[in-house]
Each structure stands twice: as C-alpha cells, then as structure tokens.
Amino acid sequence: MERKLTGKTAIVTGAGRGLGRAHALRLAALGANIVVNDIRLDAAAEFDEELTAATVADECIALGVRAIGVEADVTDRNQVASLVERAVSEFGGIDILVNNAGGMLRPVERSAASTMDIDDLEFIIDVNLMSTVHCCQLVVPSMKERGSGRIVNVSSTAAFMSGVTFTSYGMAKAAIVRFTRSLATELGPFGIHVNCIAPSLIATSRALAQFPDRVKAAATIPLRRLGVPDDVSKVVEFLCTDLSDYVTGQCITVCGGNYLNVS
C-alpha cells in the first residue's frame, strides 16, 4: 500500500474496536500517525474481538507509525478539548479527523416516534450528533493553521430509512449529513474537506451479536453479502487522500446497493 499519508496525523474516535479500529489501521498503513480514541481503550474485549497486539495503538505502531491511545468521552466537550490538545502536543497538529464514535439503544422498538423516551432521544443525540459537533469544532483551528484538513463524519443508512424503529438514531444520523454539508461549505475556502459516510449493517462482532437475524438479510442485498469493516475503511481512505481532492460536502453510502438513490 502506498504510504500517501506519511507525516499526517489522524484522530479516529471510537477506535478501540470494530469499524473505528479498521479506519485507524488503514490510515496507519497509509503512513499517518494515529490518535486512537475510545471511551474505553479495551473495548474490543467486551465483544471478544481479537487484536494482533495489546492495543489498537500498538497495532498501528507495528505498521511503522507513531500512535497513542487517549481515553475520552466525546460527548463531553471538555474531554474532547483535552483529546485535541494531547494530539497537538504529541504530533504538532491535526490533519485528519474520523468521527466514528456513536451508538444506539436496544431494543430498537423503544424508539418509535410517538412514544420514544425523551431521555433516550437526548442520549442518542449526544452520542452521535453532539460528539461529532464537538470534535469537528475543536479540530478546526489546527486544520486552519495547517491550511488543509480532512474530516470524515459517520452517518448511517438509517438516516434515509422510513419505518417505526431506529427513529432517534436515524434522526441523529440525518442531522450529521446536514451538519457535514454546512461545515464543508464553510471550511472549503480554508482547504478543509468535510464529507460523511453512511454504512448499512456491517459485520462487526458487536453488530452480529446485536442483530443475529440480519445475517439472513444478506441474500436480499444486490451484492449478496454483508459488508465487512474493510469495505468501509476503503471509503475512508478515499476521503482522506488525494483521490478525493475535488470532493467535499458529500455523503457516500456503503451498503452493497441495499439503499439506492438516498445520498
């Protein structure tokens, strides 16, 4: 793999396992120094996800780059400020932000529009939308100083779906798309690209544990399989390298064709 990102520094949130880990490892393989963030850096153990080293940061270091792990709750603006300060102190600045942290509440039936609990809604908004807003706003000064930057926010195909379930999650993820487009328009003159990705169900250990019946749905997907983390991290690579030099303000669905004409 060509090391197109040598000398760059990337923050990846929610990178202790799953998709975030995949994004961190791909960017490291491309030569970027990595700040691995998670609310729990040992998150992989919760879902028996095997690492090839003691931590995701160690996995990145094994790829020949510098990396640190920083535990922080990205719904807390003060903790995000500390995360960004640590990244700038350690590496001199920030070139890439991948806002992977997020989540939903189970069972999904609890999020019907007419009955969903307001505390649940506020939690989902905090975990998905406000975490993204905090991280974006607090990395922008460093990116402006460097005269360039790449921000990849993570939405979901739930942002474009109708139906009774996933209401609060879909609301938050739809708001991320709108926020991304506004931020891209604002920051374009500063050389900062802002895009988002919208994965469907991806076969991570957590997703397979939470939605075992969804595995059967692979037969209805045009590409006839569930996505895997590398399918998504390849799109992150595209958005973080010169391959997307004329792309900003876009939302790319990563769904095997399961949700067509939504972005």
DSSP-derived secondary structure letter, 222: T
Domain map (residue ranges) of the chain = 9-254
Of 71, 90, 92, 78, the C-alpha closest to 13 is 71
How do residues 128-174 score in pLDDT, each as one tens digit?
999 999 999 999 999 999 999 999 999 999 899 887 788 999 999 99
Band (210; pLDDT cuts 50, 70, 90): low
DSSP-derived secondary structure letter, 210: H
Active site residues: 169
How do residues 60-99 score in pLDDT, each as one tens digit?
999 999 999 999 999 999 999 999 999 999 999 999 999 9
- CATH number of the structural domain 9-254: 3.40.50.720
Of 26, 81, 180, 222, the C-alpha closest to 10 is 26
207: region left, alpha or beta (phi > 0 left; psi from -120 to 50 alpha) = alpha
Of 64, 8, 47, 50, the C-alpha closest to 209 is 47
Q: Which residues pair with 149 in a beta bridge?
A: 192
Contact 151, 194 (CB under 8 A): yes
